[in-house]
């Protein structure tokens, strides 16, 4: 946990690789949230993964779905200006980086 947080403190973008089910998408965003980060993007290859992970992490962190933990996929989003963790498809994140007004 500490190694992940210190890596993110050093570099704004960190890629984490690991086996399926090791917690890359569910636990790492929670570690960063507890460490005080308030703009966390977690990419997923599929839209359904964004939605289901958002629901799971919101449940695990005792947050309302779409409030502090949200998602954004093509043509749909469930997040607010107060959202701290957002699950987003890889393609949408790339478009947002290239055109910040999305």
pLDDT bin (cut points 50, 70, 90) of residue 94 is confident
The alpha carbon torsion through 56, 59, 73, 78 (nearest 10 deg) reads 170
Question: Hey, what's the torsion of the CAs at 16, 20, 22, 27, to 10 degrees?
Answer: 70
What digits encode the pLDDT tens for the residues 60-84?
Answer: 999 887 789 999 998 988 888 899 9
Whole-structure pTM value:
0.86
Cα-based torsion angle of the residue sequence 4, 9, 10, 12 in order, rounded to the nearest 10 degrees: 100
Q: In this predicted structure, what is the pLDDT of residue 30?
A: 95
For the chain, list the domains and their CATH numbers.
Answer: 2-98 (3.40.50.300)
Does the pLDDT at position 96 exceed 90? no
Mean pLDDT of the region 84-102: 83
């Amino acid at each position: 946990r500490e190694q992940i947080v210190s890596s993110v403190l050093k570099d704004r973008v960190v890629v984490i690789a690991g086996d399926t089910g090791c917690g890359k998408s569910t636990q790492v965003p929670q570690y960063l949230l507890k460490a005080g980060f308030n703009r966390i993007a977690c990419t997923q290859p599929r839209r359904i993964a964004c939605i289901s992970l958002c629901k799971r992490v919101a449940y695990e962190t005792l947050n309302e779905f779409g409030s502090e933990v949200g998602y954004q996929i093509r043509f749909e989003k469930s997040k607010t200006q107060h959202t701290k963790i957002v699950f987003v498809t890889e393609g949408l994140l790339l478009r947002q980086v290239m055109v910040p007004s999305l």
